[in-house]
């Protein structure tokens, strides 16, 4: 019999144990449809002690300890069925690094993985400031993306690979001024990757230019075999408007629902980080977004579609608490429908 990777991890002297979860949350996890995967953006936040992680030697584990040893405890939470691997946006990981992550989660768990910005950012940026330095020669380089990202991610994660998300930062006025051309370029890039990826793997595209939340871009993604990733972000239209443009709110939509609840409207990341730290409570609830995501998730799951929603601490203040609130809303609506 194969050894349980969670048991092996907890036997490690450096292991982080999961927090105790009350019965109501456990029952909520049992009722949540299996097609719905809720989770957070990364997991290495000491402020989640008591919510996701137990005290370690009488005190919260550090950010570094959680990054290295906290994933199994995170995945033991009954509502956390996915996580967004965000570090991959900054540099690709190896097969062995992906495989190590996969060993620490149960079979039902799925990873949402961000593709490196090396292929989605049109410019190279200055360290520290993030200012554009020069054009990026690997922008939309499908061959390199397949070799250095797709291959290691898929072989390392295996069946635990969820959507692979290609997040395009704001592309700049020059590129977005010609929507048909940038649409064609991104669609061609995704089509090449689609041809090198098993059909069961979801390739998703997230944009940060509101001009691209439009029917022509939706058609380009559809033709390329990619799916839209809804970006809940201050620079984008409300999530229900995006869903309507991409056809994700229709009962006959065949696509999985992929959404990343990134940032509360009206804030910048650093402003939200300072206001919400240490991410242990909801500071500014966003009921319209929560309700829209719940409606979309219920409709998708009812149609047999997979649902992946990941939430950032900067959305409302504490991603695990946002997950719990969203799960409760989905559950309440489902119970009403059954009555």
The 10s digit of each residue's pLDDT in 37-84 is 999 999 999 999 999 999 988 899 999 999 999 999 999 999 999 999
Tokens (6 digits) for 131:
């200012």
- Could you give the percent of the chain with pLDDT greater than 90? 87
Phi and psi, residue 229, nearest 5°: -105, 120
Q: What confidence category does residue 335 fall into, taking pLDDT thresholds of 50, 70 and 90?
A: low
pLDDT at 311 over 80: yes
In this structure, are residues 139 and 121 in contact, taking their beta carbons and an 8 Å threshold?
Answer: yes
pLDDT at 299 over 80: yes
- In this predicted structure, what is the pLDDT of residue 126? 81
- In this predicted structure, what is the pLDDT of residue 204? 98
- Both ends of the chain: CA-CA distance in Å? 43
- In this predicted structure, what is the pLDDT of residue 297? 97
Overall average pLDDT of the 90-99 stretch: 95
Nearest residue to 142 via CA among 106, 110, 187, 93: 187
pTM: 0.93
pLDDT at 116 over 80: yes
Nearest residue to 316 via CA among 280, 292, 283: 283
Beta-bridge mates of residue 123: 135
What average pLDDT does the chain have? 93
- Per-residue buried b or exposed e for 252-288, using 16+ beta carbons within 10 Å of the residue's own CB: ebebbbbbbbbbbeebeeeebeeebeebbebbeebee
Q: Domains of the chain, with CATH numbers?
A: 5-338 (3.20.20.410)
- In this predicted structure, what is the pLDDT of residue 5? 41
Beta-bridge mates of residue 231: 260
Nearest residue to 275 via CA among 232, 312, 317: 317
Instruction: Report pLDDT digits (tens) over 220-240.
Output: 999 999 999 999 999 999 999
Nearest residue to 67 via CA among 87, 93, 95, 90: 87
């Amino acid at each position: 019999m194969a050894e349980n990777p969670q048991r092996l991890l907890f036997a490690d002297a450096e292991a982080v144990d999961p927090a105790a979860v009350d019965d109501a949350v456990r029952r909520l996890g049992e009722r949540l449809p299996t097609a719905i995967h809720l989770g957070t953006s990364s997991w290495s936040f000491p402020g989640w002690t008591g919510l996701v992680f137990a005290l370690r030697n009488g005190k919260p584990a550090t950010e570094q300890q959680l990054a290295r040893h906290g994933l199994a405890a995170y995945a033991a939470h009954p509502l956390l069925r996915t996580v967004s691997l965000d570090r991959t946006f900054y540099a690709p990981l190896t097969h062995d690094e992906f495989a190590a992550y996969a060993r620490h989660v149960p079979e039902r768990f799925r990873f949402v993985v961000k593709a490196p910005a090396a292929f989605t950012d049109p410019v190279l940026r200055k360290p520290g400031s993030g200012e554009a330095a020069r054009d990026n020669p690997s922008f939309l380089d499908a061959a390199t993306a397949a070799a250095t990202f797709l291959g290691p991610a898929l072989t390392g994660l295996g069946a635990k690979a969820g959507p692979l998300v290609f997040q395009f930062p704001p592309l700049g006025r020059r590129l977005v001024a010609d929507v048909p051309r940038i649409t064609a370029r991104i669609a061609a890039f995704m089509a090449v990757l689609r041809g090198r990826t098993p059909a069961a793997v979801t390739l998703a595209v997230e944009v940060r230019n509101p001009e691209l939340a439009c029917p022509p871009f939706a058609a380009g993604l559809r033709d390329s075999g990619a799916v839209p990733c809804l970006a809940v972000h201050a620079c984008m239209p409300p999530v229900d408007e995006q869903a309507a443009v991409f056809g994700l709110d229709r009962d006959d939509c065949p696509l999985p629902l992929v959404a990343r609840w990134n940032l509360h409207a009206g804030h910048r990341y650093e402003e939200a980080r300072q206001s919400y730290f240490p991410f242990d409570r909801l500071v500014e609830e966003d009921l319209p977004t929560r309700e829209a995501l719940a409606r979309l998730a219920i409709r998708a799951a009812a149609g047999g579609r997979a649902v992946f929603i990941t939430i950032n601490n900067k959305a409302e203040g504490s991603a695990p608490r946002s997950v719990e609130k969203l799960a409760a809303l989905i559950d309440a609506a489902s119970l009403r429908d059954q009555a």
